[in-house]
Each structure stands twice: as structure tokens, then as C-alpha cells.
Amino acid sequence: MDRRVAFVTGASRGIGRAIAEKLASDGCHVVLVARSADRLEALAKEITDQGGSAEACPCDIGDGEALATAVTDAAERHGRFDILVNNAGITRDDLLLRMSDEAWDEVIHVNLRSAFVACRAAVRPMMRGRFGRIINVGSVSGVMGNPGQANYAAAKAGMIGFTKTIGKEFAGKGVTANVVAPGFIATDMTDALPDLVKEEATKRIPAKRFGTPEEIAHAVSFLASDGASYINGRVLAVDGGMTD
Ligand code: NAI
């Protein structure tokens, strides 16, 4: 994947960080996106110290204009834009009867609208290069539903319909779009869950353990590769066998 430009949101930690490191080790130049400039600069330095190529691109993906500009600027700066990984996401969990309008709107806005904004900005330079790989990070919650996550499950399920649609719209242009749907992965996001919830979750996972961010990164790396050129509009669950 030499010299390909990959734009990864939520790259400061967790799954996004592992994806950024993997794509850099695959030979991509990685544009690291999250809000914290310091964390991104530190990661960019780590990657370059190891012989890879990366740059920090601080941006709040909830700010549509800033996100679209970040994509367009990266494409102009590098003269190409090959891989878009919409990974950044948040949870604002609550049972439906207690869920506020704000919790609903924020999760749909940050998790789903950002993917729409970034994809819309990215497909033009991808089509110009006759190559594009869009990988949207969904969740098993968007496939199965999950009590307490009506907003999050709706955003992640929406991402599936959205991804299948853009996969169909741009398939003839060398651009593919797929969803990677992680199960329970050990990151700050799941660290925040009560121990009892984590224990119950582990019992439901056939693999009997949480996954690692690196296990998600490998799936993303494959879908971003030349070898995945005929895979389009799919949902790849990486969940230790939890979903059918
Ligand atoms: P995390 O909470 O550890 O990291 C989230 C990343 O997104 C951070 O880099 C954060 O700075 C960034 N981010 C959040 N809001 C942002 C904003 N407004 N602007 C820019 N960046 C922002 O989460 P984790 O676990 O690494 O999750 C990554 C993705 O994987 C998310 O989309 C999440 O929904 C999904 N996922 C995670 C699972 C898990 O078990 N950890 C399971 C299923 C899906």
C-alpha cells in the first residue's frame, strides 16, 4: 500500500490508534484525526520514529464544515486520497424511557452524520484517483440492538444502510465501502462499563474474551488493500463469534 493516503478518525486512542498504526505499517501515509492535537502529534512521532509516515490533523468530527475541510485539504496537500476510515464514535447510553433528546441527537450527529460528511468530501478525490476504500466502523449493537443503546444502535445501523448505498453508487469508479462491526473490544470505551456488565458480556461471546484493537485493525487493513477490490457493501463482524 505504498504511498497511499489514509485518513483515520478517532486515531488518538483505542481502535482508531491501532488502525492508524497498522495502515502505517502497511506503507500508507496516515492522516491522524481526533480532537487532541497533543496525542496526535505524539502518535505521529511514534509512527515516523518507526519508519512510517503520519501527520496530526486535529478536528472535531461533530463540526461538519471542519471535517469536510480536513478531508479536502488532505487530498489537496497530498494530491490523492485513497482510504477513509470513519472510526471515531461516542456513546451516551441510557434506557429508552430515560434517554434525552440531547443524548439521541449527539450520538446520531457524531457517529452517523460525520461519516456522511467525510464520505461526501472523500469520494471526489477517490474517483479522480480511480481508487478508494471507505471503511466505516459500525458495531454489533447496530446489527443486534443492545438495551441502553437505542441512539448508538440506530446510528450504527444507519451506517450500514449508508455504507451499502455508497458502495453501490461508486462501485464502477474503483471505490468500495464496507463496514467493520466490532464486538466487545478492550478500549477506554468498554473500560467505562461496570464490571458486572463486562462479565455478562464475556459470557455471551463464544471466544470468551474481549477482542483487541489490533484484531479490528487487521480487518480494516484487509478491506483497505488491493486484495479486497471485489468486496463491497459488506458488514464484516469482528466479534469472537457473537453474531450470526
Ligand atoms: P474510544 O472512546 O477509545 O476512542 C474514540 C476515539 O474517537 C478517540 O480517539 C476520540 O478522541 C475520538 N472522538 C470521539 N469523539 C470525537 C469527535 N467529536 N471528534 C473527533 N474525534 C472524536 O473508542 P473505541 O473503543 O476505540 O471505539 C472506536 C470505534 O469503534 C467507535 O466508533 C465505536 O463506536 C466502535 N466500537 C467500539 C467497540 C468497543 O467495544 N470498544 C465495539 C463496537 C464498536
What structural domains does the chain harbor? Answer: 5-238 (3.40.50.720)
Per-residue pLDDT tens for 77-88? 999 999 999 999
Give the residue-averaged pLDDT of 58-66: 98
Per-residue pLDDT tens for 125-183? 999 999 999 999 999 999 999 999 999 999 999 999 999 999 999 999 999 999 999 99
Q: In the structure grid, which three cell numbers stand for residue 194, read together?
A: 461496570
Whether 230 sits among the annotated catalytic residues: the reply is no
Task: Report DSSP letters for 191-233, one per residue.
Answer: HTS-HHHHHHHHHH-TTSS-B-HHHHHHHHHHHHSGGGTT--S
Q: Which residues line ligand 1 (CB under 6 A)?
A: 9-10, 12-16, 34-35, 60-62, 87-90, 110, 137, 139, 182, 184-185, 187-190
Task: State the burial class of residue 127 (Cβ atoms within 10 Å of its Cβ: 0-12, 13-18, 19+).
Answer: middle
Per-residue pLDDT tens for 92-111? 999 999 999 999 999 999 99
Q: In the structure grid, which three cell numbers stand for residue 51, read together?
A: 519508519
Mean pLDDT (the chain, rounded): 97
First to last CA, the chain: 32
Name residue, grid cell 478531508. 71
pLDDT given at position 1: 52
How many A from CA of 89 to the centre of ligand 1?
4
